[in-house]
Chains A and B, each alone.
Chain A
Amino acid sequence: MKTIFALISFVGLTFSLGASAHSPLFDCFDNGDGTATCEGAFSDGASAAGVGIRVELANGRVLFQSQLDEASSYSFEIPDQEYMVYFEAGTGHEIVLFGDDIY
């Protein structure tokens, strides 16, 4: 399952880079202290401040739901089970990043 998640996630990232102007861009990083920080942007350089973000367990339970701050970032505690992060940049512009790909 983890392999499938990683593959889907990779395809998602590739697509987000390959799409046309004003495509959403998103990535998350493990801070090494039990937290992760996610950042969003758009391919025309526009800010992603205020864009919705959702951290969800594999079973569908929503752990955190918020918006990117003025620096287009959001930090959260990494759950101890399989999870994914959704970047909610509008219809057709949602990006999902799986926990396995956050390092």
Chain B
Amino acid sequence: MMAFAALVAIVFGTIGRETARGSILYGLKIFAEFLGIGLALAWILYWLPL
């Protein structure tokens, strides 16, 4: 999940912003969101009797 999040964040960061600083910050934000939402969903699914 971390590798996936990192790779997608690199592409989004590169495409989404035009300056190097903007790209890095946006990429880090995307990466954190991927991990945060992934972990939150994992815990929610853990408690659901599926």
**Do A and B interact?**
no
* Residues of B in contact with A (beta carbons under 8 Å apart): none
* Residues of A in contact with B (beta carbons under 8 Å apart): none
